[in-house]
Amino acid sequence: MRLLILGGTEFVGRAVAEAALARDWQVTVFHRGRHEAPAGVRVLHGDRTAPDGLAALAAGAGGAAPEWDVVVDTWSGAPSAVLDAARLLAGRAGHYTYVSSRSVYAYPAPAGLPEDGPLVEGADADAGQRDYARDKRGGELAAEAAFGDRALLVRAGLILGPWENVGRLPWWLGRIARGGAVLAPGPRDNPLQYIDVRDLAEWTLDAAGRGLGGAYNLVSPPGHTTMGGLLTACAEATGSDAELRWTDPDAILAAGVEPWTDLPIWLPHGGEAHGTMHGGDVSKALAAGLRCRPAAETVGDTWAWLRSVGGEAPRRPDRPSLGLAAEVEAALLGR
């Protein structure tokens, strides 16, 4: 299979590239050159936001326009970049996968919402002001406009695993590795739903190779693990002597602590946000072959990767810093 990845050097795109290389696919990555591409891929450089930024995709060596069986696009910005690339490739690629997000559902999305649930309005291709949910929906519409039923929309939920560049699981691993008393947001059995980036990559390649089209929620089944299971796995992976002090969520919220940002991944059970993020219906993806590895494997491999890069995970500059301030944690633990 001949695969073109628009991106391919960070988190999701890198996982897709590495999974495809392991299958002996011919992999080309098109990116701006800001990060090193995985070994074994063909590299094309270009900036999708610049005039003539897709020139490297327009013609190959000797002027012949290259062709691909599958395109995977991980773009998160203005939908115009998806529209321009998809139009350029529509006659030269067999299939187009756009890695979207479950954020495209109108908020709050009730627990159990399938793929035909209500959606946000897609951003115009040339809209100036950025909105993540509307941009992702606009990207979906752009991919379908160019490829029709040859477009696969991967509506990913929370993504964890090696090379994470947002900082959610790395923050918990780093905090627990430091040891001592750790504020653990309760309840311990609070169910979580996420997708290991490598499981996302494998499913995406399988689905694209089979020519699947349309939208799929891609995340583990609800309750794949719990907050207790995740943090215990962090303690075991790091070999830490950390003491997890499970704390009532009302006390945490009363102290002004923000779920999801101050305490990454965690959302109070029973709230709108929890149902939206940790209660998605994934029966369609499961029927199409989705398999999810155990949480302990995701946590352990992420810790091994963190250690291999010196303990400091790369961070996306367009995302805010995450994690609870030490003084706020100490004050809550003191209560």
Q: How far is CA 3 from the centre of its chain?
A: 20
The dihedral sign for the CA sequence 106, 324, 264, 188 = negative
Of 177, 147, 128, residue with least CA distance to 299: 177
pLDDT at 173: 98
pLDDT in tens, 213-245: 999 999 999 999 999 999 999 999 999 999 999
pLDDT at 130: 82
Q: Which residue is associated with the tokens 């690629």?
A: 93
Confidence of residue 167 (pLDDT cuts 50, 70, 90): very high
> What is the CB neighbour count within 10 angstroms for residue 80?
20
Rounded Cα gap, residues 196 and 158, in angstroms = 9
Percent of the chain with pLDDT over 90: 91
**Average pLDDT taken over every residue of the chain:** 95
Average pLDDT over residues 266-280: 96
Residue 172's alpha-carbon distances to 185, 240, 244, 286, 324, in angstroms, are 12, 12, 12, 28, 10
Percent of the chain with pLDDT over 70: 97
pLDDT at 312: 81
Angle at 330 between CA 327 and CA 332, to 5 degrees: 110
Task: Annotate 237-274 with DSSP letters as a single string.
Answer: HHT---EEEEE-HHHHHHTTPPEETTEET---TTSHHH
Rounded Cα gap, residues 283 and 8, in angstroms = 28
pLDDT at 279 over 80: yes
Confidence of residue 188 (pLDDT cuts 50, 70, 90): very high
Rounded Cα gap, residues 191 and 170, in angstroms = 20
Average pLDDT over residues 312-335: 88
For each of the domains in the chain, give its residue range(s) and CATH number, in order of start: 2-156 (3.40.50.720), 165-192+223-274+295-334 (3.90.25)
pLDDT in tens, 146-163: 999 999 999 999 999 999
Q: Which residues of 36-55 are buried (b: 16+ CB within 10 A; e: fewer)?
A: ebbeebebbebebeeeebbe
pLDDT at 304: 98
pLDDT at 227: 98
Of 257, 268, 261, 231, residue with least CA distance to 331: 257
Q: Choose the weakest-confidence range: 62-66, 89-93, 167-171, 236-240.
A: 62-66
pLDDT at 10 over 70: yes
pLDDT at 316: 80
pLDDT at 128 over 90: no
Crossing angle of helices 197-209 and 11-22, in 10° steps, is 60
Q: pLDDT higher for 138 or 58? A: 138
